[in-house]
């Protein structure tokens, strides 16, 4: 029987209970455990998550996991504010502690290779490339930048931050010592999207692989009856119901929701009927709701709901009468707006998972306006649900969406983008046969990004690197 490859997995974020980077680490763990003896080094909070997963029977048998003991310096650094998504000062120090732990484990376990999984950015490659075993780096992202031609749509402070991030990216890629050293020592580097792949090949002067950092667990044949009914309505000469649009993401400037809102404001002038559900929250919540009003769009905002205490054991908490009253009034207003033929923007906030899934299954177009993203799990979720995607033709979105499953728009300028989004949405409303064709193309496209396929590729790389090192 062939010996299983012994792999040290460096996954700072790794949890079955969260999405994004946490889901990436967990997905890599599940897939790697199919073919390798896995040892995982993760952060303190994720170590606790893996303990919970272990106790609940979610962790594959034989997976061993560790976390470096925090020191006083790490605790102090953790208190500092983060300039970007991560506190890189604390994260860098954690990598030092993790390397000492990795070196100690390698002395006894004799790993065949080490895999640097996440956080999915080139800026922090860790130190395990210094071990005397193959170092696999990736899929790794982080080089994509906010398009300079769109900086004018941002608040000056945000525009400066995005500009400085782009400058910092290029300097780090070209001149940061550990990044260059990790790239030289890596047995293989894998870019998380085509932009990353090109950037790494340009700067590191070596071949770089390409593989999305995330994936889908399953893809089943979705219900397309809502798309077919739209076709039937047109053929029968019936008035079309409003097309259901969905936007979902963090309320951050790089997600560029105002482009969609401005496009919809143009469609208001053309008597196109639509409804937009917006899922998510974040620092731009108040600003983007205000933008909706300035554009003259009718918006309805779902307020955070506080539950009243339960009446006793076994009795679920209830909504306060005041909240119930507001919800009832909101529902009446919604029905009145629909009856009057008004287009509506719904700000729904962060929804529980099942409610978010239900919204995806109602949607007929998923609008992904992001101007800076490595990939986007929600794009894959839309494809898996049979929902065509409209997005910009760049970065990870361009790798995930095909012409058979969505519409990719050029990245030119804010004004051109608004024009293109409005024209595209108008076309999808006017041509339900085209919309149905796109929906029919989503399932095959989604199946290209199954975790099992992604895992097979990485597991083959594990075997290849281990055999080279043997």
Q: Is the pLDDT of residue 334 over 90?
A: no
> Is residue 348 a part of any domain in this protein?
yes
C-alpha distances in angstroms, 239 versus 62, 188, 433, 436?
A: 59, 56, 15, 18
> Is residue 100 a part of any domain in this protein?
yes
The dihedral built from the CA positions of residue 248, 25, 34 and 397, taken in this order, carries a sign that is: positive
CA distance 262 to 418: 6
Instruction: Verify that 132 and 268 share a domain, yes or no.
Output: no
**pLDDT given at position 470:** 72
Instruction: Verify that 185 and 298 share a domain, yes or no.
Output: no
Q: Which domain holds residue 328?
A: 225-307+317-447
Instruction: Verify that 189 and 54 share a domain, yes or no.
Output: yes
Q: What is the CA radius of gyration of the chain?
A: 24
The model's confidence at residue 335, banded by pLDDT at 50, 70 and 90, is low
> Is residue 312 a part of any domain in this protein?
no
> Is residue 169 a part of any domain in this protein?
no
CA distance 292 to 287: 9
Instruction: Verify that 32 and 70 share a domain, yes or no.
Output: yes
Instruction: Verify that 242 and 384 share a domain, yes or no.
Output: yes
The model's confidence at residue 85, banded by pLDDT at 50, 70 and 90, is low
**pLDDT given at position 338:** 64
**pLDDT given at position 309:** 45
The tokens for 15 are 């949890």
Instruction: Verify that 195 and 298 share a domain, yes or no.
Output: no
Question: Quick one: average pLDDT of 255-273?
Answer: 93
> In the β-sheet with 365-368, what is the strand arrangement from edge to edge?
298-301, 344-349, 274-279, 243-248, 365-368, 389-392, 406-409
CA distance 8 to 40: 6
pLDDT in tens, 126-174: 999 999 999 999 999 999 999 999 999 999 999 999 999 999 999 999 9
Instruction: Verify that 186 and 201 share a domain, yes or no.
Output: yes
Instruction: Verify that 357 and 462 share a domain, yes or no.
Output: no
C-alpha distances in angstroms, 25 versus 97, 139, 189, 369, 461?
A: 19, 11, 17, 26, 17
Instruction: Verify that 191 and 328 share a domain, yes or no.
Output: no
Q: What percent of the chain has pLDDT over 70?
A: 90
C-alpha distances in angstroms, 363 versus 81, 248, 276, 414, 415?
A: 38, 11, 9, 25, 26
**pLDDT given at position 84:** 62
pLDDT in tens, 387-432: 999 999 999 999 999 999 999 999 999 999 999 999 999 999 999 9
> Is residue 76 a part of any domain in this protein?
yes
């Amino acid at each position: 029987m062939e010996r299983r490859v012994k792999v040290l997995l460096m996954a700072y974020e790794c949890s079955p209970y969260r999405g994004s980077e946490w889901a990436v680490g967990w997905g890599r763990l599940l897939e790697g455990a199919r073919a390798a003896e896995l040892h995982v080094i993760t952060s303190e909070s994720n170590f606790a998550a893996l303990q919970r997963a272990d106790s609940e029977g979610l962790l594959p048998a034989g997976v061993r996991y560790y976390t470096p003991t925090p020191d006083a310096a790490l605790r102090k650094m953790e208190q500092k504010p983060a300039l970007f998504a991560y506190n890189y000062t604390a994260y860098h120090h954690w990598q030092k502690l993790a390397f000492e732990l990795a070196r100690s484990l390698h002395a006894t376990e004799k790993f065949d290779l080490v895999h640097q999984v996440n956080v999915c950015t080139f800026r922090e490659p860790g130190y395990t490339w210094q071990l005397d075993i193959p170092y696999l780096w990736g899929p790794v992202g982080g080089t994509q930048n906010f398009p300079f031609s769109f900086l004018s749509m941002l608040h000056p402070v945000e525009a400066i931050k995005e500009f400085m991030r782009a400058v910092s990216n290029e300097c780090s890629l070209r001149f940061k010592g550990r990044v260059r050293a990790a790239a030289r020592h890596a047995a293989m580097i894998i870019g998380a999207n085509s932009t990353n792949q090109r950037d790494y090949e340009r700067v590191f002067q070596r071949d770089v692989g390409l593989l999305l950092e995330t994936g889908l667990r399953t893809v089943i044949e979705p219900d397309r009856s809502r798309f077919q009914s739209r076709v039937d309505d047109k053929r029968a000469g019936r008035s079309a119901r409003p097309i259901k649009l969905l936007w979902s993401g963090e309320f951050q400037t790089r997600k560029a929701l105002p482009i969609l809102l401005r496009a919809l404001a143009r469609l208001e002038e053309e008597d196109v009927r639509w409804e937009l559900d917006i899922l998510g929250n974040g620092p731009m919540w108040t600003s983007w709701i205000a933008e909706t009003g300035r554009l003259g769009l009718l918006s309805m905002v779902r307020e955070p709901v506080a539950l009243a205490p339960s009446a006793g054991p076994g009795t679920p908490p209830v909504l306060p009468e005041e909240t119930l009253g507001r919800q009832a009034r909101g529902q009446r207003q919604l029905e009145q707006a629909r009856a009057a033929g008004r287009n509506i923007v719904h700000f729904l906030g962060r929804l529980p998972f099942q409610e978010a899934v239900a919204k995806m299954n109602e949607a007929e177009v998923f609008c992904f306006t992001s101007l800076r993203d490595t990939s986007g799990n929600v794009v894959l979720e839309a494809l898996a649900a049979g929902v065509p995607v409209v997005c910009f033709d760049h970065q990870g979105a361009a790798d995930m969406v095909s012409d058979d499953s969505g519409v990719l728009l050029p990245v030119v300028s804010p004004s051109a983008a608004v024009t293109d989004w409005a024209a595209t949405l108008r076309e999808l409303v006017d041509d339900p046969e085209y919309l149905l064709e796109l929906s029919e193309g989503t399932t095959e496209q989604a199946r290209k990004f199954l975790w099992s396929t992604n895992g097979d590729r990485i597991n083959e790389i594990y075997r290849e690197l281990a055999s080279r090192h043997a």
